[in-house]
Structure 1
């Protein structure tokens, strides 16, 4: 995870004005969230220069990092009405649909050509399940929830900034995978593989990271925010049912550290067992990065 920050923003009717950040029709593109300030690369450089008039460079970097004052790429996919991913009877009882593939993670600074590194990823997911089902004896809000989301890292996928048919593209890629580079490997080592790949989880070697469960048997759309950073906690390598049942959120271990400039982030909507349906209203990804 690095640090995981996850919280349920609200149910339909009491969301903040920042959601939904999109138009009335289905749309894919840069988000128009009403955030107080979205710093650009130039903004960060200007603030850095101002601080350096009063502080040494080492301390300036600490101040900017503590404030998380980094450039950010914000992108989204929204569906109106919500897109429904339904689990059917065997063998279609385990449904998976790639709902969104982000633009490429920014690669190099246009100001000085330095290579970027990802600092934090913020996911915002608006969704619900079918509104009924599950064990009535369960008390934790996400326990027994069989609709959820997973995140993946796609490497080597070129083309346009926004992928218009993410599920079709993802299905072509899923047969290939690559291990994250060793921590001491040079970051510019080229992949031996000829085409796009999904990066493997550094701990469990799957091609996806558990992202967020839906609230169990909830008829109203809910907005969840999940933040993963590059400060991994080695005690949280594995997603445990105890944590998932209470918060619904995956740890994201190794996700941000595995991202390289030029990678893309994919979000999969999942549903398992007949009757379970994942209704997806929208997904937004915010990619924070620095030189």
Structure 2
């Protein structure tokens, strides 16, 4: 595990799932991690387990410093207050992981229904609580990183090359997340700050496990833990040649082979492949 004891990280949407896995892996590396989300103490969302309070405590248990911050990333004042607090307490931010995503809320078996039958309410989940939230946090983090001439922004995205992601809204939103990282990297390249998009695989999040439990099916063997994604982020943050990857779409399974890390069970799941056609 790399040593990131001098790293100050902000991981958005880290109450559970991939965000929690990333925060825990950074904790393993000794980082200071600001864990953000709306679920705090006993107040959770969507009846799913996990809060930023719990995640921060687990980060500390792993050897890092976990700091829970209740933040609704659709509210600009909340995001500004988050970074002001990081300024006051740390004086810098080295790593931003844009993981917050409201696009799954309210979805059930209708996720892949034809776009003309989908509710417009879901658009705001994908774009306000997803794409815009990534942009809002990135612009505030980038200001601080540019001043110091170093830093890394990771947009957690999803996909498999040019293959269709199963929903028009989802496909467009995740494509926007990828393009945002590429465009940010273009403007940041001469400032010493890197930006990338990262694809997890098929992750055993609380939401995924619940979905399979409700259908009575076993969780597929090809799934991997959220910490597998976290180990990818940790490896990137520790890479002295990270600028060489800036602007790229990176895949967790590929990074595992490049950097030599494994999942928590010692396996090294390959890159995830969607069962759809390129578009």
Q: Please say whether Structure 1 and Structure 2 have the same fold, judged by a TM-score greater than 0.5.
A: no
TM-score by length of 1: 0.31
TM-score by length of 2: 0.32
Structure with bigger RCO (C-alpha 8 Å, 6+ apart): 1
| Higher strand content, 1 or 2 | 1
| Higher helix content, 1 or 2 | 2
